[in-house]
Amino acid sequence: MELRTLRYFVAVAEELHFGRAATRLHMSQPPLSRAVKQLETDVGALLFARSSKGVTLTPVGTVLLDEARALLDHADRVRVRVKAAAGVATITVGILGDSTDPGVSRLAAAYRRNHPGIDIRIRDTDLTDPTCGLRSGLVDVALTRAPFDETALTVRALRTDPVGVVLRADDPLARRDRLQLAELSDRRWFQFPQGTDPIWQSYWNGDRPREGPVVRTVQECLQAVLWNGTVGLAPLGHDLPAELTVVPLLDMAPSRVVAVWNEGDPNPLIRSFIKIATAAYRN
């Protein structure tokens, strides 16, 4: 069972769609489908239930997803320690959310121009850790969203985005031009798993306790809205499936896109990253 194949599997499991997973992995869909099929052969069981609308995890796939995430995290930690010991010039960047953000694209191009010899590693993360593995040493710097516990971290704001509520397109509230949080008080909201940063959880729950299904990824959030009529918050301006819509919230604080790193980290590559990121997002 190769680590690369497990990364393919995790991407499909989090996107619940082979096409979106292939785009995220920067590869075409046929080899991705073949790799997952071979993994199912190796495991001896189906990992996904396939249909014309996409895929869902089987019970076996759900178990493998937890194990694969843990194994890949461990492999990342090993890689970071080995490269550090070897003195390889590298920087690992954690990215939370939409990696198609134009700010990310401008930053990537500018950083490559300024540091052509640096090994840049990207770690996509789910919504359960807004620091993208920074505290556990998996990344050197993170592109993420605030607020979260900033203890022993340095945070640089890059941009603010207004926030809205994601609804089914046939929801009566979807016809409104704007809403307030109080109008959603009787709705079920998606939740993050136990142990998620409470400041982060509170923000995305509109600063009050809520009830609803537990999710880990953006796609799981959207599927919870689509299938269960659950509501949740999202930055405005992101593409959504035709069955969903987002209505601006008048009384919700904007979502801040930030760069974050460990307080006092002397790595000059991080200082350069922050300088370039600030310019890339300002433009």
Taking residues 133-147, report their average pLDDT. Answer: 92
Tell which of 33, 65, 86 closes a domain: 86
**248 in the same domain as 222:** yes
**64 in the same domain as 37:** yes
**135 in the same domain as 21:** no
Specify the number of domains making up the chain.
3
Taking residues 59-84, report their average pLDDT. Answer: 82
Cα separations (Å) of 120 from 112, 142, 198?
9, 13, 31
Tell which of 37, 69, 86 closes a domain: 86
Residue 119: pLDDT band by 50, 70, 90 thresholds? Answer: confident
Q: Which residue has the higher pLDDT, 256 or 218?
A: 256
**248 in the same domain as 130:** no
Rounded CA separation 166/107 (Å): 28
* 90-96 vs 141-146, strand pairing mode: parallel
pTM to 2 decimals? Answer: 0.70
Rounded CA separation 201/208 (Å): 9
Quick one: tokens of 134? Answer: 């920074």
Domain that holds residue 221: 163-253
Q: Give the pLDDT confidence score for residue 124 in this predicted structure.
A: 86
Q: Give the pLDDT confidence score for residue 80 in this predicted structure.
A: 60
The per-residue pLDDT of the chain, averaged, comes to 88
Tell which of 60, 86, 112 closes a domain: 86
**154 in the same domain as 272:** yes
